[in-house]
């Protein structure tokens, strides 16, 4: 019999993670494994067992450093192989379906892959797991299965909900019809959105990378009280040696990400035109705009195309300012990387960044190239402010490493048993080494 003054402890969570791809280089399963909470990690493909040497041999023979290089990089560091289950043939089929599908037809590919992953996980079994961890559009069947068997249910909403993204991008296509190929009404996106919403209803805890995502779920009628805002973190990488200031005094502006409407391509072009000779723009990322639009953009912005991850430090080292005028994101990892490189960040609220306006950079309204130009001219004319923001960026980055992300994530997960009965939570960055908040203000109920 338990004494009245001693409460029985909740059993420790053991979690099965089901994840397509190598999102954030497997940060979540790595964190859970290090905390002793990972029952099993399920994925489509991981470079484990005989696969790394086989892929390297294929790359040598074929000379393909693109797809094969990305597959070789899918190494789940820190996880023992006996914790990992993957299905390489399924992973290859998923990759091929994505390659063959036009952008407007990707939604059913994502739905197929998510449902197939869930079916495979269910067949394989959850072992001794007391919880499952899934991602939006790739977890519905597994969440339903877990609910039927009394297993706790967590999902991560990695981006703004589909209706929010579709509305914003439809407005962009209307404003810039010559930027991307026209898209017609897509009923497949309706099914995709319905799948996300069904996952929200089934999950007990919904993790959001930013307040922008949480607000989007609420706007779509989702269960905002079950949402927890947990900002991400990035692995520290050796920083490139910062290049000396140009003798001509031009401000070096870096953009990273796919060149498209979603990332604000027209506003980058307008800003580059307006700043003229006072700034130099460089954009690293695959080009997804129409050829004519790419030509216009390349007249003012140095389009570098897709850049392998190991080469990115040299581009961050080149930059004075990082620019990302996104229309819609979840919480853009490139903004975390820019802070870690000591670069002031100029972005929008819709990018879901942890940048504080006027401290590590500036937050500007979406679709406002004038505001971008004004802030760039301010930094160009005040190098003392630029250096101050650079130092602040490095300090801010210390709060958003993978280790600190892990602390925030574990705090959120340890609240899972009562998550469905609480108000929405926002997990702050200022935690102790054990993951316990230093004060009550770092977990604020809404």
pLDDT tens for each residue of 252-279: 999 999 999 999 999 999 999 999 999 9
Clarify whether residues 342 and 377 are in a common domain.
Answer: yes
* Same domain membership, residue 295 and residue 204: no
Question: What pLDDT is attached to residue 77?
Answer: 86
Mean pLDDT of 51-78: 72
pLDDT value for 446: 31
For the stretch 399-425, pLDDT in tens is 999 999 999 999 999 887 543 333 344
Q: How confident is the model at residue 428 (pLDDT cuts 50, 70, 90)?
A: very low
How does pLDDT run across 74-97, given as a tens digit for each residue?
Answer: 888 889 999 999 999 999 999 999
Establish if 243 belongs to a structural domain: no
3-state secondary structure labels for all residues of the chain: CCCCCCCCCCCCCCEEEEECCCHHHHHHHHHHHHCCCEEEEEECCCCCCCHHHHHHHHHHHHCCCCHHHHHHCCCCCCCCHHHEEECHHHHHHHHHHHHHCCHHHHHHHHHHHHHHHHHHHHHHCCCCCCEEEEECCCCHHHHHHHHHCCCEEEEEECCCCHHHHHHHHHHHHHHCCCCCCCCCCCHHHHHHHHHHHHHHHHCCEEEECCHHHHHHHHHCCCCHHHEEECCCCECCCCCCCCCCCCCCCCEEEEEECCECCCCCHHHHHHHHHHHHHHEEEEEECCECCCHHHHHHHHCCEEEEECCCHHHHHHHHHHCCEEEECCCCCCCCHHHHHHHHCCCCEEEEHHHCCCCCECCCEEEECCCCHHHHHHHHHHHHHCHHHHHHHHHHHHHHHCCCEHHHHHHHHHHHHHCHHHHHHCCCEEECCCECCCCCECCHHHEEEC
Looking at the structure, do residues 51 and 103 belong to the same domain, yes or no?
yes
**What is the domain extent for residue 176?**
15-233+402-445
Query: Looking at the domain assignment, is residue 6 inside a domain?
Result: no
In a domain, 4, yes or no: no
Is residue 5 in some structural domain?
no
Same-domain status, 386 and 413? no
Report the pLDDT averaged over residues 176-193: 85
CATH of the domain at 429: 3.40.50.2000
Assess if residue 76 is contained within a domain: yes
Summarize pLDDT for 88-122 with one digit per residue, the tens: 999 999 999 998 988 778 889 999 999 999 999 99
Indicate if 101 and 203 belong to the same structural domain. Answer: yes
Assess if residue 152 is contained within a domain. Answer: yes
Averaged pLDDT, 275-293: 95
How many folded domains does the chain comprise? 2
432 and 303 in a single domain? The answer is: no
Region 342-362: mean pLDDT is 97
Residue 353 counted as domain residue: yes
- Do 140 and 160 have their domain in common? yes
pTM over 0.75: yes
- Mean pLDDT calculated for residue range 133-156: 97
Mean pLDDT, residues 39-68 taken together: 77
Residues 267 and 375 grouped into a single domain:
yes
Same domain? 227 vs 303: no
Confidence (pLDDT) at 350: 97
Residues 260 and 315 grouped into a single domain: yes
In a domain, 246, yes or no: no
Lowest mean pLDDT among 48-57, 342-351, 419-428: 419-428
Q: What is the pLDDT at residue 48?
A: 83
Claim to verify: residue 373 and residue 434 sit in the same structural domain: no
In a shared domain, residues 157 and 26: yes
């Amino acid at each position: 019999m338990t004494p009245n003054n001693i409460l029985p402890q909740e059993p420790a969570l053991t979690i099965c993670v089901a994840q397509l791809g190598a999102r954030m280089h497997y940060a979540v399963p790595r964190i859970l494994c290090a905390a002793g909470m990972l029952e099993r990690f399920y994925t489509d493909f991981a470079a484990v067992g005989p696969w790394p040497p086989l892929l390297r041999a294929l790359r040598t023979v074929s000379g393909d450093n693109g797809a094969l290089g990305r597959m070789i990089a899918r190494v789940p560091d820190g996880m023992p192989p006996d914790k990992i289950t993957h299905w390489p043939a399924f992973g290859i089929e998923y990759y091929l379906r994505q390659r063959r599908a036009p952008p407007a037809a990707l939604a059913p590919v994502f739905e197929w892959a998510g449902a197939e992953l869930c079916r495979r996980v269910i067949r394989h079994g959850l072992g001794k797991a007391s919880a499952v961890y899934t991602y939006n559009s790739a977890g519905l069947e597994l969440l339903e299965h877990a609910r039927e068997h009394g297993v706790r249910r967590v999902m991560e909403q990695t981006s703004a909900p589909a209706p929010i993204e579709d509305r914003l991008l439809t407005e962009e296509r209307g404003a810039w019809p010559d930027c991307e190929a026209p898209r017609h009404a897509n009923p497949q996106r309706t099914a995709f959105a319905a799948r996300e919403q069904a996952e929200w209803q089934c999950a007990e805890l919904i993790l959001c990378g930013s307040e922008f995502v949480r607000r989007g779920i609420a706007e779509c009628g989702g269960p905002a009280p079950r949402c927890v805002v947990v900002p991400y973190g990035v692995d520290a990488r050796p920083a490139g040696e910062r290049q000396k200031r140009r003798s001509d005094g031009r401000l070096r502006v870096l953009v990273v990400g796919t060149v498209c409407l979603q990332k604000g391509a027209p506003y980058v072009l307008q800003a580059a035109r307006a700043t003229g000779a006072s700034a130099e723009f460089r954009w690293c990322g695959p080009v997804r705009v129409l050829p004519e639009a790419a030509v216009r953009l390349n007249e003012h912005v140095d389009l570098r195309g897709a850049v392998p991850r190991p080469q990115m430090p040299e581009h961050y080292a080149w930059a004075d300012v990082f620019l990302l005028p996104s229309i819609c994101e979840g919480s853009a990892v490139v903004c975390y990387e820019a802070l870690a490189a000591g670069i002031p960040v100029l972005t929008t609220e819709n990018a879901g960044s942890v940048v504080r306006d006027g401290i590590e950079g500036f937050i500007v309204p979406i679709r406002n190239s004038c505001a971008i130009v004004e802030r760039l001219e301010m930094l160009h004319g005040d190098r003392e402010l630029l250096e101050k923001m650079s130092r602040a960026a490095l300090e801010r980055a210390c709060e958003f490493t993978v280790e600190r992300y892990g602390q925030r994530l574990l705090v959120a997960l340890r609240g899972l048993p009562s998550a469905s009965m609480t108000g929405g939570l926002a997990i702050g960055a200022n935690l102790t080494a054990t993951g316990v908040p230093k004060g009550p203000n770092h977990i604020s109920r809404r």
